[in-house]
Amino acid sequence: GQNIDQPTEMTATEGAIVQINCTYQTSGFNGLFWYQQHAGEAPTFLSYNVLDGLEEKGRFSSFLSRSKGYSYLLLKELQMKDSASYLCAAFNNNDMRFGAGTRLTVKP
Amino acid sequence: DTEVTQTPKHLVMGMTNKKSLKCEQHMGHRAMYWYKQKAKKPPELMFVYSYEKLSINESVPSRFSPECPNSSLLNLHLHALQPEDSALYLCASSQNPGTANTGELFFGEGSRLTVL
């Protein structure tokens, strides 16, 4: 079975840093993905981790610990346009399962 | 071309209608997906096709019937749907299945379905 947990909502201030956590339990695992989804739009790929450690892509970084079943997405220098849902997803052999998503609101 | 194109963008149908959703990609991807997404909920996996063969069917009711006529096209045939089936239906594709597949999904804009 698959179980992916992440906080439902978070609020942060423009210019700040926010960390969105994700824990997962899956029967198979090839990678952990983060997607961003604005209201009314399709999800867009942000980052993925296969091996333990930190992957950095500009203002976004993602971390994975396979032994702990844990990942986080770090967003730096928050901008208003970062207000969106952030979906954690576990991938295994063409099977991509999403967590419930974290709705991030960035305030001025 | 890095797009996944879905048609129609909006569809309203009655419970006795038969309609189809279409999805097309020309990135050479050989894994294609249908997801269903209700408002303020994450996408739920429905079907996965790998090399034009159905590899995952998440116990979806038979009123949803997927079809993959070739490596670029994916259809979802709809028949006798219920109002609770109203949702955004997202198509996605990813690189060739197997070890080369990074898993990154490319999503279409979705087809918003309303069942009356």
pLDDT tens track for B67-81: 999 989 999 999 999
Pick from B43, B101, B106: which is nearest to A94 by CB? B101
pLDDT of residue B96: 66
Predicted confidence (pLDDT) at residue B98 exceeds the cutoff of 80: no
Whether the per-residue pLDDT at B102 is higher than 70: the answer is no
pLDDT(A64) > 90: yes
Amino acid at B98: G
Task: Please judge whether B107 and A43 are an interchain contact, meaning their C-beta atoms are less than 8 angstroms apart.
Answer: yes
Name the pLDDT band for B48 (thresholds 50, 70, 90).
Answer: very high
The residue among A33, A47, A96, A102 with the most chain B CBs within 10 A of its CB, best to mutate, is: A96
List of residues 6+ apart from B77 with CB closer than 8 A: B18, B19, B20, B64, B65, B66, B67
B103 closest CB neighbour out of A43, A44, A48:
A48
Are A96 and A89 in contact, with CB atoms under 8 Å apart? Answer: yes
Q: Of the candidates B42, B48, B106, which has its C-beta nearest A101's C-beta?
A: B42
CA distance B62 to A89: 26
A95 touches chain B (CB under 8 A): yes
Q: Give the whole-number percent of chain A exceeding pLDDT 90.
A: 75
**What is the structure's pLDDT at B65?**
96
Phi first, then psi, for residue A69 (nearest 5°) are 60, 45
Q: In angstroms, what CA-CA distances link A87 with A17, B23, B87, B95?
A: 18, 23, 18, 20
Tell me whether A99 touches chain B (CB under 8 Å): yes
Distance (Å, rounded) from C-alpha A65 to C-alpha A53? 7
The one-letter code for the residue type at B15 is: M
Give A72's pLDDT tier (boundaries 50, 70, 90): very high
The verdict on a CB contact (< 8 Å) between B48 and A48 is no
At B40, the pLDDT band (50, 70, 90 cuts) reads: confident
Residue A92 burial class via C-beta count within 10 angstroms: exposed 0-12, middle 13-18, buried 19 and up: middle
Q: Which residues of A touch B51 (CB under 8 A)?
A: none
pLDDT of residue A93: 76
Strand-pairing partners, residue A11, are A105
The answer on pLDDT for B99 being more than 70 is no
Q: Are A35 and A84 in contact (CB under 8 A)?
A: no
Per-chain mean pLDDT for chain B = 91
Closest residue on chain A to B98 (Cα): A93
